[in-house]
Amino acid sequence: MANIRKQNAVATEPSEAQIAVHWREEEYYYPSARFVGQANLTDPTIMERFREENFPECFREYADMLDWDQYWHTTLDTSDPPFWKWFVGGKINACYNCVDRHLDKYKNKAAIIFVPEPEQEAPVALTYRELYVRVNALAALLRDFAALKTGDRVTIHMPMVPELPITMLACARLGIIHSVVFGGFSGEACGRRAADSGSRVLITMDGYFRNGKMIDHKASAEIALNVAKQEGQTVDKVLIWRRHAGKYASASPMVKGRDYFVDEVLQKYSGEVVDPVSMDAEAPLFLMYTSGTTGKPKGCQHRTGGYLAYVTGTSKYIQDIHPEDVYWCMADIGWITGHSYIVYGPLALAATSVIYEGVPTYPDAGRPWRIAERLDVNIFHTSPTAIRMLRKAGADEPKKYHYHFKHMTTVGEPIEPEVWRWYHETVGKREAVIVDTWWQTENGGFLCSTKPGLDPMKPGSAGPGMPGIYPFILDEEGHEVEAGSGKAGNICIRNPWPGIIQTVWGDRERFVNQYYRKYCKNPNSKDWHDWPYFAADGAVLASDGYFRILGRVDDVINVAGHRLGTKEIESACLTVPEVAEAAVVPVVDEVKGRVPEVYVSLQPGLEPSQEVHDKVLKAIETMIGKIARPKKIHIVPDMPKTRSGKLMRRVLAAISNNLHTGDISTLANPDVVDKVREMVQGKEPVAVKEGPEDVKRFGTVD
């Protein structure tokens, strides 16, 4: 033990060599001839077509999958870097492309199949015609009753029900910018986002089923409105969908003149048809708030034409969606995955998209496979956390059901090779091809993935850059890290692409600073080559050109595939009056990948107590939501700090994960480290073990 302490005391900052990654090279898996025989993308010249010499015009191939009201004159405009503009001069409507244009051929085909969580409630199919009717009626309501117009923002705080995509599409029909807040986020989190986006209208729902219980969701609208008001934004209309039309499931009172039941108001608009508004390709389609390195969530602003082209192209080539497929992405529409790959991409291709209301393991771990069997789902899409959870709860369950997936996706976090293999063998029955898609809220669609009919799969690796995406790895000094060197670095994208966000809503500077400042070669240059995109993920590039993503290198924690900013959680802790300082770090979790662990120190003279512990927990749950619930809350005597007063989250992350703390001799208070370690690990320090790169590097990259 003395040894370990000594080691800790003399160890230095992790060097590039130390963060080099050692893992066994995995063997390739090949798609079946049956899959390849029907795949959308089997032409190997795709990479030729999308190579750098053909950039940016190569992206016409995606944009040409859409119906344009007016063709664009400039594919990529780089006059205001890094605010790239795509398909400039083009006019298009996203709702038209996802609904109207399919009516001739597919009006009677299911667009959406809704699977309620209670198993005795039968699935409900909405045809493209029915979707058209409902979207039109709601668009009329939004325009004529809620007085919303093109360019206005609307916050939507809803669970996984078909009314959510109906609402998004009705907004898109009118050019209203929707800002969907994940239903599991608290009222406060929703209110802050509503305020930032300047929403005057909130669209919500009375309640929904989760884990066998009806959740009272409308209650959080009250909180959201109060918080928005405190931040200077008045929301004067609340439109409330009811889970069962005509029956109000919330205990929260309706406020006269402000709150309206959508099903009641809609009666007046039934049968109305609203012309889709022809939008500039560069008009914003939606905002999606995500966590960054500051406490304030950023509103990722996605454009209409480029975004829709990118998600449609990638849905066709990488998701292999054909109109006759039954496609199920078991994610939440409240995250970017749901926007791109439950709603916009699949519907633009006239697929049938499945929406499941509830928890994958409700009432048992066989549920997803029963749904797949009943609906004859043939494309399945989910996250490593869900896969780990289903494997843990019922590793043999998939074998009991007669479904056949041709294609499966994993997204959102690194997947361990052994989990990948269970997904392949047991869930996919060795029939399904798998794509491990790496991307981010800011990216609109996939950045790295294998092409399912063309490339072999490698467990644990996302694969090469997508067609037209040229990723590379840079070290901290901006030198390119060579393929096959085994060294980790920061994955960046050399070039712009149509799915990238336009900006951070209302904060151009934050957009530049976050993604482009770090590696910009010349801030005055109008040449995109000088503006690589910094993704804030660590990665390793193998000699075969496959990228293995290691996780975030900034202060963002990826919990169950969902991004949480440490600063957001810390700000919540600091609302407890007894708390003087707070630090949040990621700990490795068998199922969720990473979960936050909280350290707080108290105001002078105060003693740790269960009461403070509970207050901190409550603050986090009310300000952000249960998703941010920490694994543990440690009340410590002091925080390890540098002499300049910087809180050393890296040291705390090392303690929480039983890793070397690195060089602590330069700290202002090195003795605190031992005290904290003893509190967390007990008198006998736990043996130091190898840790994953994101945890080892946590807080070391600015």
**Number of residues lying near ligand PRX (CB under 6 A):** 21
User: What residues form DSSP beta bridges with 465?
Assistant: 448
Amino acid in the structure at residue 537: D
Residue 414 interacts with ligand PRX (CB under 6 A)? Answer: yes
On whether the CB atoms of residues 551 and 562 are closer than 8 A, the answer is: no
CB nearer ligand PRX, residue 199 or residue 382: 382
> CB of 561: closest distance to ligand PRX in angstroms?
6
**CA neighbor of 696 nearest in space, from 657, 670, 667:** 657
Residue 481 is classified by DSSP as P
| SS3 state of residue 294 | coil
- Using only the alpha carbons of the chain, give its radius of gyration: 25
Token digits of residue 133: 């009717």
CB nearer ligand PRX, residue 220 or residue 337: 337
CB nearer ligand PRX, residue 68 or residue 182: 182
CA 633, chain centre distance (Å): 26
Please, which residues have CB within 8 angstroms of residue 184's CB and are 6 or more apart in sequence? 332, 334, 625, 626, 627
Residue 290 interacts with ligand PRX (CB under 6 A)? Answer: yes
| SS3 state of residue 288 | strand
CB nearer ligand PRX, residue 242 or residue 562: 562
Tell me the per-residue interface mask from 549 to 578 with ligand PRX, x by CB under 6 A, - otherwise: x-xx-----x---xx---------------
Compute the distance between CA of residue 655 and CA of residue 646 in angstroms, rounded to an integer.
17
CB nearer ligand PRX, residue 305 or residue 412: 412
CB nearer ligand PRX, residue 166 or residue 501: 501
User: What residues form DSSP beta bridges with 450?
Assistant: none
Residue 693 interacts with ligand PRX (CB under 6 A)? Answer: no
Segment near ligand PRX (CB under 6 A); pick from 436-444, 521-529, 623-631, 648-656? 436-444
User: Scanning residues 535 to 554, which ones bind ligand PRX (CB under 6 A)?
Assistant: 537, 549, 551-552
Q: Strand order of the sheet with strand 326-329? A: 124-127, 110-115, 352-356, 326-329, 379-382, 407-411, 433-437
**CA neighbor of 455 nearest in space, from 319, 320, 546:** 546
Token digits of residue 420: 């990948």
CB atoms within 10 A of CB 621: 17
> CB of 314: closest distance to ligand PRX in angstroms?
12
Tell me the longest C-alpha to C-alpha distance in the chain: 78
Measured N-to-C along each axis, helices 566-573 and 610-623 cross at an angle, to the nearest 10 degrees, of 130
Residue 298 interacts with ligand PRX (CB under 6 A)? Answer: no
Residue 466 interacts with ligand PRX (CB under 6 A)? Answer: no
**CA neighbor of 357 nearest in space, from 227, 233, 211, 249:** 211
- For 350, 675, 698, the CA distances from 682, given in Å and listed in that order, are 58, 10, 23
Token digits of residue 661: 């703390």
CB nearer ligand PRX, residue 174 or residue 311: 311
> CB of 43: closest distance to ligand PRX in angstroms?
25
CB nearer ligand PRX, residue 123 or residue 295: 295
On whether the CB atoms of residues 207 and 217 are closer than 8 A, the answer is: yes
> CB of 31: closest distance to ligand PRX in angstroms?
18
Residue 412 interacts with ligand PRX (CB under 6 A)? Answer: yes
Segment near ligand PRX (CB under 6 A); pick from 28-36, 106-114, 172-180, 408-416? 408-416
**CA neighbor of 184 nearest in space, from 631, 595, 621:** 621
Measured N-to-C along each axis, helices 128-144 and 163-174 cross at an angle, to the nearest 10 degrees, of 60
> CB of 541: closest distance to ligand PRX in angstroms?
14
CA 443, chain centre distance (Å): 10
CB nearer ligand PRX, residue 14 or residue 414: 414
Residue 307 interacts with ligand PRX (CB under 6 A)? Answer: no
The backbone torsions φ and ψ at residue 601, rounded to the nearest 5 degrees and listed phi first, read -115, 150
Q: Tokens 């336009």 map to which residue? A: 502
Segment near ligand PRX (CB under 6 A); pick from 67-75, 126-134, 248-256, 412-420? 412-420
CB nearer ligand PRX, residue 159 or residue 551: 551
Residue 337 interacts with ligand PRX (CB under 6 A)? Answer: yes
> CB of 531: closest distance to ligand PRX in angstroms?
19
Tell me the per-residue interface mask from 351 to 390 with ligand PRX, x by CB under 6 A, - otherwise: ----------------------------------------
CA dihedral of residues 686, 691, 695, 700 (deg, nearest 10): 100
CB nearer ligand PRX, residue 288 or residue 348: 288
CB nearer ligand PRX, residue 165 or residue 414: 414
Residue 467 interacts with ligand PRX (CB under 6 A)? Answer: no
Q: Which one among 260, 420, 438, 497 touches ligand PRX, defined by CB under 6 A? A: 438
Residue 441 interacts with ligand PRX (CB under 6 A)? Answer: yes
Segment near ligand PRX (CB under 6 A); pick from 101-109, 363-371, 438-446, 612-620? 438-446
Q: Which one among 167, 382, 409, 437 touches ligand PRX, defined by CB under 6 A? A: 437
Compute the distance between CA of residue 11 and CA of residue 570 in angstroms, rounded to an integer.
28
> CB of 701: closest distance to ligand PRX in angstroms?
13
As a residue count, the chain comes to 702
Residue 496 interacts with ligand PRX (CB under 6 A)? Answer: no
- Helix H, strand E, coil C: the string for 488-520 is CEEEEECCCCCCCCCEECCCHHHHHHHHCCCCC
Termini Cα distance of the chain:
33
The backbone torsions φ and ψ at residue 641, rounded to the nearest 5 degrees and listed phi first, read -140, 155
Q: Which one among 301, 440, 502, 566 touches ligand PRX, defined by CB under 6 A? A: 440
Residue 462 interacts with ligand PRX (CB under 6 A)? Answer: yes
> CB of 412: closest distance to ligand PRX in angstroms?
4
> CB of 361: closest distance to ligand PRX in angstroms?
21
Residue 692 interacts with ligand PRX (CB under 6 A)? Answer: no
CB nearer ligand PRX, residue 440 or residue 658: 440
Residue 336 interacts with ligand PRX (CB under 6 A)? Answer: yes
Please give the residue ranges that form the binding site for ligand PRX (CB under 6 A). 290, 336-337, 411-414, 436-441, 462, 537, 549, 551-552, 558, 562-563
